[in-house]
Amino acid sequence: MGREIDEAWIDEAIERYRRVEELRAEFDQAVATHAVSVHSPDRTIEVVVTASGAIVDVRLHGELSHRDPAEFAREIKEAVVSAAEAARWAREKLHGEVFGSFRTLEGH
């Protein structure tokens, strides 16, 4: 007994695959280029991170000579951790924007 092939479904699946690949490329580009800036509570440390999690810049603002090295190191670490969380948030937001309206093949 032969199996019936739904060519329209196959064509749609191929087109959807192509569209997913296009969206994935768009998402990858957005994640690599979208940057988020995070500051320490006293705003003397700024970490710029892409949505992919790459730290692209660390900026120090104001007078730093009076700072305790251990405290300063702790604040840098906290700013970097906050930057990682901001990158995760940015990735999720971009994912929703890029893939949010994409419908599934369920029900076919």
Arithmetic mean of pLDDT, 3-21? 85
Fill in the amino acid letter for 29.
Q
- For helices 69-99 and 7-33, angle between their N-to-C axes, nearest 10 degrees: 150
DSSP string across 15-74: HHHHHHHHHHHHHHHHHHH-EEEEE-TTSSEEEEEETTS-EEEEEE-S--TTS-HHHHHH
Per-residue pLDDT tens digits for 40-79: 988 889 999 999 999 999 999 888 788 888 998 899 999 9
The pLDDT score that the predictor gives to residue 47 is: 95
Residues 21 and 89: their CA atoms lie apart, in Å, by 23
pLDDT at 13: 86
- 8 Å CB contact between 32 and 12: no
**pLDDT tens-digit readout, 73-98:** 899 999 999 999 999 999 999 988 88
Correct CATH for 7-99 of 3.30.1310.10, 1.10.10.10, 3.30.565.10, 3.20.20.70: 3.30.1310.10
